Structure 1
Amino acid sequence: MAKKPLSAWPWENLGSFKYAMYGPLAANVMYSWIYEDSYKHPWCVHILIICALRGFMHQLWNSYNNMLFLGNCRIKQQGVEFKQIDNEWDWDNFILLQGLLATMACLMFPSMDDEFPIWNTKGFITLMLLHVMVSEPLYYWMHRFFHGRYLFTHYHSLHHSSSVPHPFTAGHATFLEHLILSMVIGIPIMGSILMGSGSTSMIYGYVLGFDFMRCMGHSNVEVIHGAIFNKLPFLRYLIYTPTYHSLHHSDMGTNFCLFMPLFDAMWNTLNRNSWQLHNKITSNSGENGRVPDFVFLAHIVDVMSAMHIPFVNRSFASIPFSTRMFLLPFWPVTLMILLMMWAWSKTFLHTFYNLQGRLYQTWVVPRFGFQYFLPFAADGINKKIEEAILKADRMGVKVISLAALNKNEALNGGGTMFVNKHPQLKVRVCHGNTLTAAVIVNEILKDVKEVFLTGSTSKLGRAIALYLCRRRIRVLMLTSSTERFQKIQKEAPADTQNYLVHVTKYQAAQNCKTWIAGKWITPWEQSWAPSGTHFHQFVVPPILASRRDCTYGDLAAMRLPEDVEGLGSCEYKLERGVVHACHAGGAVHQLEGWPHHEIGPIDVDRIDLVWEAALKHGFRPVFQP
């Protein structure tokens, strides 16, 4: 169906190049700064600053809305999904539009070149009167008109397509809607200016205050406690709440107001459940959230990847992580925040999703990847992991799975330390490595007769070697320890022990085209691989792809079942809907309801069992040979 006039944005095909429309304003400011004693058009500076502050305002609300670890009073429990994030990608179009309209207004009225006073009390009074008497009722009635069949279908349904309210949802609307909203926000400002009572603080204050209220109303967390309205009932009609506005999205025939429910009460469109629901959400703030069935305990890799979380940048978190130039200026700020979180030392909730009707969450230990390799940091890291496990146990979590370095064998024996210390744990501790091993061995082509394995005596390396030798695949195990190799070899069936071969140099694999990296391999060491080699890997961080004539697999991962709900962020460098195999392994452990802890050495006999269970529940391999 063809789009109706004014429903699409004029610059929707420009992508990021739309920001070039700020160019003339920026050029004017730069020219005046370099060649003139004073700004000839001071409004150019103010428009640019206000636009930047408006974007920052929405970003702050996005951060607060996604700070799940604060225990906020959530209104809707489901998470924002990728589809909604993509639909709201250009949420800031209205800032650009209103910046252009402000530029046109300044060009039409030459008096704008004169500097306004910083403060004018009369202007604030005039502005508030115009807002209450003109903007509020105008928005109310225009909003009701947009809920008519024709206007809603062709213009307003886009805004209501967002299933979970979010501060960015406030800007997600059609071009026509934001033209009208620009008029609503512009009338009080222009009215005060034309009456000769304008001021710089009035313009900044009203525009940013308007955005603050819009973001608050579209937030999915409640910020005003019900006790305030119970003590001062008249405030209910003067300021709306996120709960109040959320009811408009679920019962679209009610709660049309801009910011003041008074107008809904006047014209009989106030939802009768507004105050009761608001009281319920705020009074049961500690009870309205579901206890997760499964927790994946992740950790920070480095400073750059720490920015790949929804409460920092929702859009960036929704795509696979990669180091981007625009993030470099934020590196020092991120480092400072990380150090503060390190000092605070609290595990924080990163994201959550629903799988087969069960709530799954990711918690993050605020520790850098390099810290796990510092001997003196081991006790502190284990203490944080232990606290997270005990917290999950108190909450009633069924399974907690340890990510990558959190289950390092040298650190805590793959989780064994915690289970031995707390034998009464009800929560099942799971390293998920059985499925990781299953993913790797099932990636190997059926006709492969020989593999080269680094990190061969590690927990995963041992399991992979023992499994492959049972399949009559020759395994070149790189290790400097003859004793550890012989110990693993003795675990293999007697008739397959000869398939495990001890090697001490990379040169031994110069004719082997299947490498499995469980230990970091330098570019020089990779040079011994023959052309056409495929590198499987389970090493953290992943090895560098230095050979153009070879192929490189990602870390072992699995695609989540298609019925997953509420997922809106990518797990590190993995694509959407894909999680690391240890994450998936813990999820399968919970779905199967297995009563044992999955800790310590991998049970080779369970590799096929866990693989079949994962496939049964809808998990799919990312790489298929």
Structure 2
Amino acid sequence: MVSISSAWPWENFGNLKYLLYAPLVGQVVYSWTHEEDISKALWCLHILIICGLKGFLHVLWSAFTNSLFLTRTLRINPNGVDFKQIDHEWHWDNYILLQAIIASMICYMSPPLMMMMMNSLPLWNLKGPIALIVIHVTFSEPLYYFLHRCLHRYNHLFTHYHSFHHSSPVPHPMTAGNATLLENLILCVIAGVPLIGSCLLGVGSLSLIYGYAIMFDFMRCLGHCNVEIFSHKLFETLPILRYLIYTPTYHSLHHQEMGTNFCLFMPLFDILGNTLNSKSWELQRKIRLDEVERKRVPEFVFLAHGVDVMSAMHAPFVFRSFGSMPYTTRLFLLPMWPFTFIVMFAMWAWSKTFLFSFYNLRNNLCQTWGVPRFGFQYFLPFATKGINNQIEAAILRADKIGVKVISLAALNKNEALNGGGTLFVNKHPNLRVRVVHGNTLTAAVILNEIPEDVKEVFLTGATSKLGRAIALYLCRRGVRVLMLTLSLERFQKVQKEAPVEFQNYLVQVTKYNAAQHCKTWIVGKWLTPREQSWAPAGTHFHQFVVPPILNFRRNCTYGDLAAMRLPKDVQGLGTCEYTMERGVVHACHAGGVVHMLEGWEHHEVGAIDVDRIDLVWEAAMRHGLSSVSSLTN
């Protein structure tokens, strides 16, 4: 049974809850166009602006917290925020909507108060902040402390109300607003009284309302950000600050040891109430001095890259909720395209590898690093050297800090770019980190999707690294492979690698009409609709081409890019890899993971060793990875 005031009235509305802002928007539009007295319109407009600023503030704090290239060494809780927590906190902004509704009710239920405030409020009043601080310290802080302790002291209150907030294992800015209706009603009172009190005393101002509303949320996000941003030297120089402002470490200890550190923003009240956690300042000092064991060196790194400008906004440090779902272009992204395009060029100029996500795989920390390059840049001749320099720098950095395996994403191991990673291994023969392109497992995934009864396949991209391995493997199975290539020399080179008794299974073809009777196509080169038209009805297109081909044929089926599902015991994974489902990664990414878990000491670069395809596949199965076969019509 749901307790009174624990559930939100619009809980079943989903994202339609944002329509509740419509009356405010309507009032603004109507008053501006039809009424001489626009005081209501101004009041509603201020409410909407403040709500927008509050939401934007949380997004900025989330972006900062998730920018691990900035915050990794100062994280308090080293674990990552997983999909379960993200879903749990999906409607973290309910409290913003609640505050908008309460403020609008004041507008309509108490017109005299609203008129007084709107007609008499100056832009700025120097006495306002003083009055507000006094009311906050003497009312809001002690009231919050008392009520917060009650929520923990009484089992009924904690179980039915406050446990919802504490069920988020890793503090995050979005956690700050993620609470039940009752708790947020209490916060509305605690945050609203200083503002209303200042206005009633005649010292209120618009800047005071905006400033306190935003600063209140800023401090809440600060406490939940899981990144220790305060220097320990600040508190050693000015010890009194320890009692006046809490730190992220201070509040994080409350989530770990819930019988301590109950204050709103001022630890003074925990000292007065004898609830101060004795580790509060020493732990904060240790984190700043890097004395705690939280900077575990990752054993595996996946070096990713951007695909295009729109998909760049799928990075977890941009929109956490959007990054937790498979990528698809959405309307709300379109207005952000110009800004993202500018950022793209800034990143291009800055040209630094950055870390943007991590997860645990059976206690082996895995991380994703990113090269600030987008798909089209890999095909610019003058950009080749710069891109390779960035990849090389990432490999050397991984080698320096003790990473065991670094796996290269699709374009980072392009054959024309660096020979599938061979360039770096040859240039640095003493690398301790193993460089892996992961294509052995990619080939294994594609090959294991092909039914055993298939006797003929049509292969495009036939002489590429993956095409060559697939052709050689299939011919050993007695499958006739129609290899599309115009180069006789390259075809013969691949054919000679096959055992003599199987060489006749490899057949060179130069046109797509040669496959008009073959229903199994393996696509390693992008196909136009015209080229796809040669496939007979019922054809299935397996593919390892980036980007994937268009699903043009309604009477054919299309496989997704080779991918594998990570084991169920993976922890801290909260980001979808491009268009992949949750918990699914590209096969080359999974190939690097398997390389690390097996402890293999060789580099996996250059040509694929066909004899290792089954070995790598069996290792992946042994470690709990599973094949993902997703067919779409």
Q: Same fold (TM over 0.5)?
A: yes
2:46 equivalent in structure 1: 46
Structure 2 matches for 1:473-484, cutoff 5 A? 473-484=479-490
Asked if the contact 2:71/2:227 (under 8 Å) is kept, the reply is no
Give the one of 315, 334, 342 matched to 1:336. Answer: 342
Measure, in 2, the Cα distance between the counterparts of 1:567 and 1:438: 25
Which amino acid in structure 1 is aligned with residue 382 of structure 2?
Answer: F
Residue 10 of structure 1 pairs with residue 15 of structure 2: no
1:292 equivalent in structure 2: 298
Q: Post-superposition shift, 1:480?
A: 0.6
1:451 equivalent in structure 2: 457
Give the one of 590, 597, 610 matched to 1:604. Answer: 610
Residue 81 of structure 1 pairs with residue 87 of structure 2: no
Q: Post-superposition shift, 1:108?
A: 2.8
Measure, in 2, the Cα distance between the counterparts of 1:519 and 1:395: 37
Aligned residues: 624
Measure, in 2, the Cα distance between the counterparts of 1:39 and 1:17: 28
Listed one character per residue, the Cα deviations across residues 184-211 of structure 1 (whole Å, up to 9, x for unaligned) are 1111111112222221011101110000
Residue 29 of structure 1 pairs with residue 34 of structure 2: no
Measure, in 2, the Cα distance between the counterparts of 1:64 and 1:71: 8
Q: Post-superposition shift, 1:24?
A: 0.9
Give the one of 140, 144, 165 matched to 1:139. Answer: 144
1:621 equivalent in structure 2: 627
Give the one of 234, 237, 243 matched to 1:237. Answer: 243
Could you tell which deviates more after superposition, 564-573 or 107-116?
107-116
Q: Post-superposition shift, 1:286?
A: 10
Listed one character per residue, the Cα deviations across residues 250-299 of structure 1 (whole Å, up to 9, x for unaligned) are 10000000000000000100000001100001111897411110111111
1:69 equivalent in structure 2: 69
Measure, in 2, the Cα distance between the counterparts of 1:286 and 1:600: 40
Could you tell which deviates more after superposition, 33-42 or 103-112?
33-42
Structure 2 matches for 1:170-319, cutoff 5 A? 170-284=176-290, 288-319=294-325
Asked if the contact 1:532/1:549 (under 8 Å) is kept, the reply is yes
Asked if the contact 2:559/2:630 (under 8 Å) is kept, the reply is no
1:417 equivalent in structure 2: 423
Residue 110 of structure 1 pairs with residue 111 of structure 2: yes
Distance 1:71 1:25, change over 3 A: closer
SS at match of 2:360: strand
Distance 1:485 1:347, change over 3 A: same
Measure, in 1, the Cα distance between the counterparts of 2:194 and 2:291: 37
Residue 127 of structure 1 pairs with residue 127 of structure 2: no
Which amino acid in structure 2 is aligned with residue 118 of structure 1?
Answer: L
Structure 2 matches for 1:502-513, cutoff 5 A? 502-513=508-519
Q: Post-superposition shift, 1:164?
A: 0.3
Could you tell which deviates more after superposition, 574-583 or 542-551?
542-551
Which amino acid in structure 1 is aligned with residue 144 of structure 2?
Answer: Y
SS at match of 1:118: coil
Residue 95 of structure 1 pairs with residue 73 of structure 2: no
Asked if the contact 2:324/2:574 (under 8 Å) is kept, the reply is yes
Q: Post-superposition shift, 1:40?
A: 3.4
SS at match of 1:545: coil
Which amino acid in structure 2 is aligned with residue 6 of structure 1?
Answer: S
Which amino acid in structure 2 is aligned with residue 598 of structure 1?
Answer: E
Q: Post-superposition shift, 1:446?
A: 1.4
Q: Post-superposition shift, 1:356?
A: 1.2
Q: TM-score, normalised by structure 2?
A: 0.97
Listed one character per residue, the Cα deviations across residues 320-379 of structure 1 (whole Å, up to 9, x for unaligned) are 000111100000111111211111100010210000111100111001101111112111
Q: Post-superposition shift, 1:309?
A: 1.1
SS at match of 1:297: strand
Could you tell which deviates more after superposition, 99-108 or 252-261?
99-108
Which amino acid in structure 1 is aligned with residue 21 of structure 2?
Answer: Y
Measure, in 2, the Cα distance between the counterparts of 1:71 and 1:336: 24
Measure, in 1, the Cα distance between the counterparts of 2:77 and 2:125: 42
Measure, in 2, the Cα distance between the counterparts of 1:225 and 1:289: 18
Measure, in 1, the Cα distance between the counterparts of 2:57 and 2:178: 16
Q: Post-superposition shift, 1:51?
A: 0.4
Measure, in 2, the Cα distance between the counterparts of 1:123 and 1:624: 61
2:579 equivalent in structure 1: 573
Asked if the contact 1:443/1:624 (under 8 Å) is kept, the reply is no
Measure, in 1, the Cα distance between the counterparts of 2:270 and 2:402: 43
Which amino acid in structure 2 is aligned with residue 176 of structure 1?
Answer: L
Give the one of 426, 429, 435 matched to 1:429. Answer: 435
Listed one character per residue, the Cα deviations across residues 292-313 of structure 1 (whole Å, up to 9, x for unaligned) are 1011111110001100011100
Could you tell which deviates more after superposition, 72-81 or 156-165?
72-81
Which amino acid in structure 2 is aligned with residue 315 of structure 1?
Answer: S
SS at match of 1:233: coil
Listed one character per residue, the Cα deviations across residues 532-583 of structure 1 (whole Å, up to 9, x for unaligned) are 1111100011111111111111110000011111000000000000000000
SS at match of 1:143: helix
1:389 equivalent in structure 2: 395
Cα RMSD after superposing both structures: 1.2
Measure, in 2, the Cα distance between the counterparts of 1:387 and 1:192: 56
1:472 equivalent in structure 2: 478
Distance 1:374 1:488, change over 3 A: same
Q: Post-superposition shift, 1:36?
A: 4.5
SS at match of 1:364: strand
Q: Post-superposition shift, 1:33?
A: 2.9
SS at match of 2:457: strand
Asked if the contact 1:71/1:286 (under 8 Å) is kept, the reply is no
In the alignment, structure 1 segments of 5+ residues that lack a partner are: none
Measure, in 2, the Cα distance between the counterparts of 1:465 and 1:146: 66
Measure, in 2, the Cα distance between the counterparts of 1:240 and 1:350: 27
Asked if the contact 2:124/2:205 (under 8 Å) is kept, the reply is yes
Measure, in 1, the Cα distance between the counterparts of 2:243 and 2:266: 6
Measure, in 2, the Cα distance between the counterparts of 1:493 and 1:286: 57
Give the one of 128, 132, 156 matched to 2:162. Answer: 156
Listed one character per residue, the Cα deviations across residues 394-423 of structure 1 (whole Å, up to 9, x for unaligned) are 011111111101101111111011111110
Measure, in 1, the Cα distance between the counterparts of 2:151 and 2:494: 71
